[in-house]
């Protein structure tokens, strides 16, 4: 399951969600009942409270855009987001095939970009 680190003080409103890529399917797999759901992800940096998805084990990462975009491939971890279904698809191992999904409820795809993710 997804680790969820709550803000450690009332003054810090940023939340980090950690995904262990090596554990892809067990961590947050593909399909209903397998994928994790984040109900309160704040993707809009303009709010001053943008949350971050930490990708543990990624060498490099690229957010490629909406669900019509191809994954980066070539060993690069990448992700794309469907604003209708609210599902973030992640190619963890960089083979251009999805390995993980996370549902980001109430997120507008226009607010997602590389700054919402960090490689750890």
State the residues that interact with Ca ion by CB under 5 A.
43, 91, 93, 95, 97, 99, 111, 116
Of 36 and 117, CB closest to Ca ion: 117
Q: Least distance in Å: CB of 40 to Ca ion?
A: 15
Of 36 and 98, CB closest to Ca ion: 98
Of 18 and 29, CB closest to Ca ion: 29
Is residue 62 within 8 Å of 76, Cβ to Cβ? Answer: yes
C-alpha–C-alpha distance, residues 77 and 49, integer Å: 25
Of 7 and 75, CB closest to Ca ion: 75
C-alpha–C-alpha distance, residues 54 and 117, integer Å: 6
C-alpha–C-alpha distance, residues 79 and 14, integer Å: 21
Q: Least distance in Å: CB of 63 to Ca ion?
A: 9
> With the C-alpha atoms ordered 65, 78, 52, 67, is the resulting torsion angle positive or negative?
positive
Q: Least distance in Å: CB of 5 to Ca ion?
A: 18
Q: Least distance in Å: CB of 37 to Ca ion?
A: 19
C-alpha–C-alpha distance, residues 62 and 90, integer Å: 10
**Residue 48 CB coordination number (10 Å):** 9
């Amino acid at each position: 399951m997804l680790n969820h680190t709550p803000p450690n003080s009332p003054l810090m409103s940023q939340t980090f969600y950690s995904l262990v890529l090596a554990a892809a399917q067990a961590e947050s797999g593909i399909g209903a009942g397998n994928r994790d759901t984040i109900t309160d992800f704040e993707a809009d940096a303009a709010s001053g409270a943008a949350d971050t998805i930490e990708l543990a084990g990624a060498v490099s990462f690229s957010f490629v855009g909406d669900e019509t975009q191809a994954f980066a491939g070539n060993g690069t971890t990448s992700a794309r987001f469907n604003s209708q279904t609210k599902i973030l698809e992640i190619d963890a191992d960089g083979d251009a095939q999805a390995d993980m999904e996370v549902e980001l409820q109430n997120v507008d795809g226009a607010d997602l970009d590389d700054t919402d993710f960090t490689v750890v």
